[in-house]
Amino acid sequence: MKSSTVRYLIPIFLILAGTMMFSTWEKKSSDPVPRMAPGAPPGVPDGLLRGPNGGILLRGGKEFQIEITLYEQGVPPQFRVYAADGSSNPVDPGQVTLRIELHRLDRVDRIGFQPAGDFLLGDRVVEEPHSFDVKAEARYKGKTHSWEYSSIEGRAVLSPGIVREAGIAIESAGPATLRQSIDFPGEVTFNEERLAHIVPRLDGVVRSVHKDLGDEVREGEVLLVLESRELADAKTLYLEAVQKTSLARIDLDRQEDIAKNTDLLLNLLESGSSTEELDRKLKDRSIGEGRAKLVHAYARLRLARTVFEREENLYRKNISSQSEYLAALEDLRITEATFLALKENTAFDVHRELLERQRKFTTAELNLASANQKLRALGLGDEAIEELVQSREHAFTQYLLKSALSGTVIKKHVAQGEAVKKDDDIFVLADLSDVWINIAIPEKDLKQIRLGQAVRVKAKSLDLEARGKLTYLGNLIDETTRTVTGRVVIPNPRREWRPGLYVTVELVLGERKVPLAVRKEALQSFRGWTVVFGVFGDIFEARPLEIGDTDGTWVEVLKGISPGTRYVTQNSFAIKAEILKSGAVHDH
């Protein structure tokens, strides 16, 4: 069904329903009741008699009648019932037992009566709305009389199809949390902790551009390719440093091996090992030219010691002359001194050379680290640097400018073939998965504000709403606006919160849970009451409320409906308009 057709059908349907239901008082009784002629006094529904007190006259045969009045002058509405005999003469209320049941859409109110002067007074208030089926039962002089009639007001009947086409929304009343809050103006801004200004870090010429304005970018993804002489120099310097470090490492390893083997040789010499044992234990060990000198000197020392011992023995036996003995002793001393000096010099030279190799290796490592840091400063990562070392074909001038984070390209100032400087701001990327809401908080409100307060952010123009907490409160008051900046971080998975959007920020000062509440937009003013339209199947009925506090979204309900009552939350004004148009109200 088209919406234009629905617009015309709803009023017609409701007028017909109002004619059938809204102002109907239908009597069903075991006793016949005379009908009023057309033109009966106002205040009594058509088809029923008005009694002398202005109420509804119900007759129980020829010997008894009651008149039901609803009295509400200066007191809450209550039934006052006047009893009379068949000749309309008042009877003693104490001789009458009366009870009335009011059958509403969601409950039954049972009312008992006690004599009060010349009438029977109901024992409870007749609550609004006065829309119900009435069942009355009276006992007088041993005979029971019963009547039934309907009093309908403030109702409309709508089919599910019409409800759907009219855009009427329905919810169930229940508990809610009321928030005491205060509103401030705010603006959506980028999360500055997730904002990146991309610069090339070196001078060059743009070979190709891979990303455009608005494109989504992943961290590490290539933004553009640059040709740079500066990068070529840096790569060359790094490769040279790698090679020098490698050679220095080889030299150091060899010298460490020589030093280790030399120490072993010196220890063997110190222990007096034979030359045969030296050859066996030092076989295939690298020592260098010092080995031959030491072994030769050691062999001469051993020979000199043997000659001296022989000459000493012969001298003591007077076989050899003193001069021969002294000559052998002198030769031993000279040979021993020569050996000791050579041993000390060899140890010193070997370890001095080791220190020199260590110094050269350390210097090479420092140069390599410096070259590595320069490449990193130019934007090359571990993978690119490793590839530079391993690859045989080097694109020395090619530079891949990569994204520092995952986000969206929000600014772009570069084109293919353009010459760029190392500090040119050629891309700006923003991670829009969450955004900042900056709030202008007047100084007069600062005493109510604290970090961690719950916040609700609303953009009415886009029908957006989000929740968060106050995560930042500035320390300075703006001299011009006399405000302090507050900040809320909210998630933005759908990218609906666009930086630059003006919003309203509701800071929650306190919360109170209430057992029963309805949405504020559901409230309507009806016959001087504040009402919601309760939903009972296909019947919509105005329900007057006694309301308490509100936070702008929810309204506390003190009286009028029960938890779980279904009520109209959207387009309730349409139901009100149709009820008023149909005249579905009554006059007490």
Q: Which two tokens stand for residue 104?
A: 């509403």
pLDDT, average across residues 94-120: 95
Single out the residue of 26, 45, 177, 152 nearest to residue 536, CA to CA: 152
Is residue 511 a contact partner of residue 467, using CB atoms and an 8 Å limit? no
For the chain, residues classed under CATH 2.40.50.100 are 192-228+397-430
DSSP labels, 446-513: GGG--TT-EEEEEEGGGTEEEEEEEEEE-SS--TTT-EEEEEEEEE-TTS-S-TT-EEEEEEEEEEEE
pLDDT, average across residues 301-320: 88
Give tens-digit pLDDT for 244-255: 999 999 999 888
Judged against a pLDDT cut of 70, whether residue 21 lies above it is answered with: no
Residue 393: pLDDT band (50, 70, 90) is low
Fill in the amino acid letter for 330. Answer: E
Give the residue, 267 or 437, on which the prediction is more confident.
Answer: 437
Residue 4: pLDDT band (50, 70, 90) is very low
Give tens-digit pLDDT for 429-482: 999 999 999 999 999 999 999 999 999 999 999 999 999 999 999 999 999 999
Residue 100: pLDDT band (50, 70, 90) is very high
Q: Give, in words, the CATH class of 192-228+397-430.
A: mainly beta
Single out the residue of 478, 487, 497 nearest to residue 452, CA to CA: 487
Q: Which two tokens stand for residue 324?
A: 């021969």
pLDDT, average across residues 168-187: 93
Query: Which DSSP symbol is given to 129?
Result: P
For the chain, residues classed under CATH 2.60.40.3340 are 25-151
Q: What angle do helix axes 322-377 and 382-390 make, rounded to 10 degrees? A: 120
Residue 3 is predicted with a pLDDT of: 40
Radius of gyration (C-alpha) of the chain in whole angstroms? 53
Residue 170 is predicted with a pLDDT of: 94
Average pLDDT, the chain: 86
Residue 237: pLDDT band (50, 70, 90) is very high
Give tens-digit pLDDT for 408-434: 999 999 999 999 998 899 999 999 999
* Calpha distance 65→98 (Å, rounded): 12
* Calpha distance 141→485 (Å, rounded): 83
SS (H, E, C) 556-569: EEEECCCCCCEEEE
Q: Dihedral of CA 146/147/153/156: which sign?
A: positive
* Calpha distance 85→45 (Å, rounded): 23
Domain covering 25-151 in this structure, CATH number: 2.60.40.3340
Q: Which two tokens stand for residue 378?
A: 């130019």
Single out the residue of 482, 408, 487 nearest to residue 444, CA to CA: 482
Fill in the amino acid letter for 80. Answer: R
Is residue 207 a contact partner of residue 227, using CB atoms and an 8 Å limit? yes
* Calpha distance 88→51 (Å, rounded): 10
Residue 37 is predicted with a pLDDT of: 32
> What are the C-alpha distances in Å from 321 to residues 313, 326, 433?
11, 9, 107
Backbone torsions φ then ψ of 84, nearest 5 degrees = -150, 165
Residue 230 is predicted with a pLDDT of: 86
Residue 22: pLDDT band (50, 70, 90) is very low
What number of other Cβ atoms are within 10 A of residue 429's Cβ? Answer: 26
Residue 545 is predicted with a pLDDT of: 95
pLDDT, average across residues 189-218: 92
Name which of 103-117, 238-252, 268-282 the model is least confident about.
Answer: 268-282
Residue 44 is predicted with a pLDDT of: 53
Residue 45 is predicted with a pLDDT of: 57
Contacts 24+ apart (CB under 8 A), 137-141: 137/98, 137/99, 137/100, 138/60, 138/64, 138/66, 138/83, 138/96, 138/97, 138/98, 139/96, 139/97, 139/98, 140/60, 140/64, 140/83, 140/91, 140/95, 140/96, 140/97, 141/63, 141/64, 141/95
